[in-house]
DNA sequence: TTTTTGAATAATGTAACAAGATTCAAAAAT
DNA sequence: ATTTTTGAATCTTGTTACATTATTCAAAAA
């Protein structure tokens, strides 16, 4: 078997043919999170396509490239990770605001609780969700259901305003 | 200034004093995702505390350890990443199911569309969300709003059932 | 007894490396 | 002339190695 080849121009693997189509860099990751991170970078988890109301061409091509219209739920719903928490809603006193029994509420403590915002308050150790209404120097907590009465915030003991509800997650 | 120290037992930084409290390993990450990954591993983003309805002790300790009751929205809402997509809801025909105009619907194409499920269907190129009702060998799409009439699925042209709605994200 | 200091040791970001993957044109085969 | 085979060239990729930084603690100094 004699030698083949010799000097050749243009030989070799071309740049940009890697798995991601872009350069990579080694980053030090705590071992318990390596699985999560690898799934994220390799299988484009967390990046789910978002469609409007017309059926788009090629809909719903499963693993194609969704350069546009891709949505990460965490980034979308949690703006300030360190100031955000979830609360499970109970009862139907806020049904008019689209909050149902058992819904998951996304609460941002870094937002200012201004007039008209839906807020989480604690009254005597119990968390509740109501709409904040400030008028004539007084503050009211208004249920969004005619079966429930407004609450005079000043009359309550042991109250605290915990944050503003930004999103409601309802399971079907 | 003379020399201090000398041989000492027990000197040196102790093991396990790293930022994460566990060993780390370098993992190669595509550059565009490095920011996202670093935020995830460093600031425990995506792991937001979940509370019930009583104010827990130490609530809401901002960056403490929430060993329990921590929730990742992506993992919670997207069970099958490759089979999931989002659709923006339009109109109020499903108001009774808690679906409002502008809500974000999480749709899983891997779930079977059985009787009673809320589904996404396309009719003549338009996406719509309705409740599936199968009876007497016929299939109906039922709006959850008395102002809208049921749709006879068989009578429509160019229809396709795209998936089952698992969650509704409503912004306030 | 308290404070200061620096040797010892681990953590951490990144460069470097070895092994594997990929391409393409020269050589061989048809 | 055309197609197939082959291996040198080059890039990718998981991991190791390393230089720098951070941290601790007991000896030395105050």
- The pLDDT profile of chain B, 172 residues, written as one tens digit per residue, is 445 555 667 777 778 787 777 889 999 998 888 887 887 777 655 555 555 555 554 455 443 433 334 566 777 787 776 677 788 888 888 999 999 988 888 888 889 889 999 998 888 777 889 999 988 888 899 999 999 899 887 777 778 888 899 999 999 8
Cα angle B150, B152, B156; round to 5: 125
Q: Is A110 left (phi over 0), alpha (psi -120 to 50) or beta?
A: alpha
pLDDT of residue B27: 92
Closest chain A CA to residue B57: A125
Residue B48: what pLDDT? 56
- CB-CB under 8 Å, B167 with A168: no
Contact B107, B84 (CB under 8 A): yes
On the CB side of A71, how many CA atoms lie within 13 Å of its CA?
Answer: 22
pLDDT of residue B6: 54
Q: Give pLDDT tens digits for A29-56.
A: 988 888 878 877 776 555 555 555 555 5
Nearest CA to B172 among A134, A129, A148?
Answer: A129
Which residues of B are less than 8 Å from A43 in CB distance?
81-82
User: How distant is C1' of D27 from CA of B138, in Å?
Assistant: 89
Q: Which CATH number fits domain A31-169: 3.40.50.2300, 3.40.1390.10, 2.10.109.10, 1.10.3720.10?
A: 2.10.109.10
The domain B77-172 having CATH identifier 2.10.109.10: the answer here is yes
Nucleotides of C under 7 A from a protein CB: 4-16, 20-28
Q: Which residues of A are catalytic?
A: 93, 130
b/e for B119-149, b at 16 or more Cβ within 10 A? bbbbbeeebbbbbbeeeeeebebbbbeeeee
**End-to-end alpha-carbon separation of chain A, Å?**
69
Report the distance from CA of residue B24 to the C1' of nucleotide D22 in Å, as an integer.
16
Nearest protein residue to nucleotide D27 (CA to C1' distance) is: B5
Interface of B with A in 23-62 (CB under 8 A): 23-34, 36-41, 43-46, 48-55, 59-60, 62
Residue B24, CB, strand D, below 7 Å: no
Residues B163, A97: Cα–Cα separation, whole Å:
27
Nearest-by-CA chain A residue for B84: A48
Facing residue for A86 by CB, picked from B27, B31, B50: B50
The model's pLDDT over A66-102, given as tens digits with 9 standing for 90+, comes to: 333 456 677 778 777 667 778 888 888 899 999 998 8
Where are the domain boundaries for CATH 2.10.109.10 in chain B?
77-172
| Residue numbers in B 3-22, CB below 7 Å of strand D | 4-6, 8-14, 17
């Amino acid at each position: 078997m004699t030698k083949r080849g010799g000097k050749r121009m243009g030989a070799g693997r071309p740049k940009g043919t890697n798995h991601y189509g872009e350069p990579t860099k080694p980053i030090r990751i705590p071992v318990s999170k390596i699985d999560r991170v690898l799934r994220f970078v390799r299988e484009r988890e967390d990046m789910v396509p978002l469609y409007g109301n017309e059926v788009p061409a090629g809909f719903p091509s499963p693993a194609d490239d969704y350069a546009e219209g891709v949505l990460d739920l965490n980034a979308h719903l949690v703006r300030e990770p360190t100031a955000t928490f979830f609360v499970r809603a109970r009862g139907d006193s806020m049904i008019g605001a689209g909050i149902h029994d058992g819904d998951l509420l996304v609460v941002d403590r870094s937002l200012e609780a201004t007039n008209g915002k839906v807020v989480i308050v604690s009254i005597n150790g119990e968390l509740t969700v109501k709409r904040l209404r400030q008028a004539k120097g007084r503050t009211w907590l208004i249920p969004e259901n005619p079966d429930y009465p407004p609450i005079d915030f000043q009359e309550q003991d042991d109250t605290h305003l915990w944050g503003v509800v930004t999103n409601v997650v309802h399971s079907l």
